Structure 1
Amino acid sequence: MQAGSGLRFVAIALFWIAAAAFAQDATLERARKLLDAKQAKEAYALLAPLEQQRAGEVEFDFLLGVAAIDSGELTRGVFALERVLAVRPDHPRARAEIARAYFLMGENKTARQEFESVKRARPPTEVAATIDKFLDALEARERARGTGVAGFVEATAGYDTNASAGTSSSGFAFPLNPGFVGNAAKDADYFVTLAGGVSGRYAMSDTVALIGNAVVEQRGNASSSQFDTGSFTAAGGIAFTRDADEFTVAAQGQNFYVDTNRFRDAAGLVGQWRRTLSQNDQVSAYLQRTRLSYPGQSARDANRTVAGGAWAHSYAAVRAAASFLGVYAGQEETRGPNVLDYSHDLWGVRLGGQIGIGEKWTLLANASYENRRYGGPFAGFVQSRRDKELKLSVSAGYAVDRNWTITPAIAYTDNRSNTPITDYERTMFSLSLRHDFR
């Protein structure tokens, strides 16, 4: 009788132990499913109350660490992953996740060491690609606050439905000048563009840095060489950083050419304030003053003033996902007397975003709208000119490796104007190959 009771006791004890183990495994499985469903906060709420009881279990600590990091509890996530690495120093996913946590905490040096440690272990291709993205972001962050130089070269080939940006009509009539003017129709053509640039930053102290950049670009059309364009743009200034704020003042200049002839020169100043609100949000505001000169067309010489602001947001739960919204307004005023057909007030909106698809692709989409009200009628027309310009673009960047990117793109412009010669549509299809020097 006593032996039977003892066996029953052991059986019951074993049953409850097995049931507890099953419940624990069910808890971990539930946490995995929540993390896979991008419900990190729910997974963290499930696991956090069990930390004191289950700390030291490799799988529990790993899942808790990932859930904590994705929920913004970075320090607690690091502690959990450190327990994993204390038992399993060769745990590649734990090391990659703790590197991500250090990255989000701004611990650049430690994050780089951990990412490079994982990469030396030759992880799967998709993991290596993700690590490269983080290393690129680290380099960009370090350049933004330290001393460094970066550059790029890019070649683009494509097709332009309106290389001359001419009117969509085959001809138009001047109301004040009887007769018909032809040869203003849009001119479709194939094109090739070559571009290159360099940017640099020299840190004078922890809070002050000199900044500069320069870009050169040349586009050649297959048939319409009279519409070939080229430009050289340069800027240089100083940046002041204080906590979450950065203030930048820079001088800017550009020479723009059409068919190798100087078409427009621009020189001016820009001041910008940028503030990091959180790990995922940033706002900025700017004021720009530019002096425009048109060699051989002095009537168009003008001073342009634009002020604007923008907000940018990144989505931590989705790879390479971000969006932005910007608004601006300003005025371009001709310097010559009684030249109202080029002077205008303007305002506009820009928005866009990007999202990672797999480990290699990044999809980008942008849209902008600008409204321009001119001070008088364009030459020969009765009504004061009004333009409403819409621009849309979509591109998909494929990262061959850290430095090479292939990007197919489509860009559309629709400039609605009450003046026929400035009313046009344009679509460009292109394929670019870019190499970044870091």
Structure 2
Amino acid sequence: MIKHAFCILTLSIFTFLSINVSAESNPSFVKLLSDLQYLISKKQYEDAYNKSKLHYEYLGEPNFDYLLGISALNSGVSAPAVFAFERVVEDKPNWYEARLFLIRSYIAANNLPAANAQATLLVNADTSPESVKKAARSLLASSQQKQRLSERTYDQSIELAYGVDGNVNAGTSEDTILLPNLGEFLLSPESKSTDDNYLKLNYKGRYFHPIDQRSSFALGVNTDWYKFNELSEYDRINTNISGRYQQKLNDNTLWFLQAGITPLLLDGELYRTETSLTGGASYKFDKQLSVFGSLSFGLMNNTFDEKLDNSFYTLNIGASYLSQKWYQSVSANFKNESANIDEGEFNARSISGIYYQVNALLSQQWQVSVQTGYQWIEYQDEHPLFIQERSDNLLILSSSLRYLVNKSLALQLALNYQDKSSDISLFEYDRFDTNLSASYSF
């Protein structure tokens, strides 16, 4: 059996060699090559390609494959060109022109990793002539540029939610307040906690643009529109627009610079605008563990009350851990808000916070997310009514359960809870918000 197979293999090799030898000495084959060369020289590539297709018995003969590849490539048929030049290079590895045409064919066929690998091989080869290396570098740059352009992405999603907010105005549960030297006052309904149902429409859009192998630019838009059933004065549109530039220093280190603006419209009118500039970096110890940090500077401009205008800076540090089904992160930040005018000094404050987040993939379709945080809020000056410096603590809890119907459609149940304590009872509240949503990505 083995002897029989060896005989068949030997016969096949000699048959292949005899075809090649006979082809080179065959007058009709020599005339075919001459005809193909003439048509290619006249840039009649489709005629040359069509003529080549009539003589597939010569496939595997390097001179024929070379001309077949050139005519196919210039006729816009990349796959046959790739196969033709691959056969040439396999048979004659030092035919550099064929290798350059193979790179062009890979680029035309959008097999950019293969084009990069083949071009890099020529650039680094000691035996490659300098002219070939120069051409290979040019093709490598073209391939990488096309690869970057193909990585441009624009992602969008739209979400519609129905929810119940247990404390729309973050109001207190107290009926009265006690003002120093003035006595006890009955609170108006606007100052007390009020619940209502709402509809929320969210739009997210993100454009990602690679600049080169290590740097990229991204533009993002995130808009929430809330429509309440009864409390229309709290209807709002909150939009964040940001631009981000990032660059990899190496495989483990990345830094970024981001600018953003966040206008808030309340009941159809511009209420406030926040602008910020953030710089930061992250470092990967391995595929799972990363650390990150950032520093932000910004301005808050309130249209209705200039005493709420402030300038701020925020320092944020943290670490994250990613496994096959789990993502966990822990972070801490410090924010300082300084009043822009003297009359607003009682609103100046510092906020320290710690946060923990975990996302888990329960199955291919079910995802769960839990976030918790705690903030210490210290005000810098006495409140003009209560004649004391205010100090608050805020507990934040949120969770969501997400079901992926398909790659584009998802359903989600979200629960959010806040509990704020203060040494001034007017500013104490608890708030529970729950909503059910459907989102579509496109």
TM-score by length of 2: 0.64
Partner deviation per Cα, 1:193-234 (whole Å, 9 max, x = no partner):
101021112111111212211112110111111112211210
The match for 2:387 is 382
Tell me if 1:366 matches 2:378: no
Aligned in 2, Cα 1:176/1:245: closer, same or farther, shift over 3 Å? farther
Among residues 229, 238, 248, which one is paired with 1:231 in the alignment? 238
The match for 1:306 is 314
The 2-side partners of 1:150 and 1:229 are apart by 25
Q: Where in structure 1 do 4 or more consecutive aligned residues deviate above 3 Å?
A: none
Matches within 5 A, 1:405-420: 405-420=410-425
The match for 1:242 is 249
> Would the aligned equivalents of 1:173 and 1:181 in 2 still touch at CA under 8 Å?
no
The 1-side partners of 2:374 and 2:185 are apart by 32
Gaps of 5+ in 1: 1-107, 111-141
The 1-side partners of 2:173 and 2:429 are apart by 5
The 2-side partners of 1:397 and 1:354 are apart by 11
The 1-side partners of 2:178 and 2:228 are apart by 29
The match for 1:36 is none
The 1-side partners of 2:224 and 2:212 are apart by 33
Aligned in 2, Cα 1:258/1:170: closer, same or farther, shift over 3 Å? farther
The match for 2:101 is none
* Number of residue-to-residue matches in the alignment: 295
Tell me if 1:196 matches 2:203: yes
> Would the aligned equivalents of 1:176 and 1:380 in 2 still touch at CA under 8 Å?
no
The match for 2:323 is 315
Tell me if 1:328 matches 2:333: yes
Aligned in 2, Cα 1:395/1:413: closer, same or farther, shift over 3 Å? same
Report the secondary structure of 1:162's partner residue: coil
Report the secondary structure of 1:339's partner residue: helix
The 2-side partners of 1:209 and 1:356 are apart by 29
Tell me if 1:430 matches 2:435: yes
The match for 1:96 is none
Shift of 1:249: 0.6
The match for 1:261 is 269
The 1-side partners of 2:178 and 2:271 are apart by 26
The 1-side partners of 2:432 and 2:311 are apart by 30
Tell me if 1:251 matches 2:254: no
> Would the aligned equivalents of 2:240 and 2:263 in 1 still touch at CA under 8 Å?
yes
The 2-side partners of 1:386 and 1:399 are apart by 43
Tell me if 1:352 matches 2:350: no
Among residues 287, 299, 314, which one is paired with 1:291 in the alignment? 299
Percentage identity across paired residues of the two chains:
16
Report the secondary structure of 1:351's partner residue: strand
Shift of 1:180: 1.0
Tell me if 1:278 matches 2:286: yes
Shift of 1:281: 1.3
Tell me if 1:343 matches 2:351: no
> Would the aligned equivalents of 1:171 and 1:185 in 2 still touch at CA under 8 Å?
no
Shift of 1:147: 2.2
Partner deviation per Cα, 1:25-58 (whole Å, 9 max, x = no partner):
xxxxxxxxxxxxxxxxxxxxxxxxxxxxxxxxxx
Larger radius of gyration between Structure 1 and Structure 2? 2
The 2-side partners of 1:176 and 1:401 are apart by 63
Tell me if 1:159 matches 2:167: no
Shift of 1:176: 4.1
The match for 1:222 is 229
The 2-side partners of 1:173 and 1:261 are apart by 33
Partner deviation per Cα, 1:392-426 (whole Å, 9 max, x = no partner):
01111101111111111111001111122221100
> Would the aligned equivalents of 1:378 and 1:385 in 2 still touch at CA under 8 Å?
yes
Report the secondary structure of 1:341's partner residue: helix
Alignment-mate amino acid for residue 397 of structure 1: R
The 1-side partners of 2:312 and 2:151 are apart by 33
The 2-side partners of 1:146 and 1:421 are apart by 53
The 1-side partners of 2:220 and 2:311 are apart by 23
Report the secondary structure of 1:340's partner residue: helix
Tell me if 1:392 matches 2:397: yes
The 2-side partners of 1:275 and 1:155 are apart by 36
The match for 1:105 is none
> Would the aligned equivalents of 2:175 and 2:186 in 1 still touch at CA under 8 Å?
no
Gaps of 5+ in 2: 1-111, 115-146
Alignment-mate amino acid for residue 436 of structure 1: S
Partner deviation per Cα, 1:269-326 (whole Å, 9 max, x = no partner):
011101222111121100011100101211111001000111111123xx3x111101
The 2-side partners of 1:150 and 1:366 are apart by 25
Partner deviation per Cα, 1:317-355 (whole Å, 9 max, x = no partner):
xx3x11110101121000102532100112101101021
Tell me if 1:174 matches 2:179: yes
Tell me if 1:208 matches 2:215: yes
> Would the aligned equivalents of 1:175 and 1:381 in 2 still touch at CA under 8 Å?
yes
Report the secondary structure of 2:292's partner residue: strand
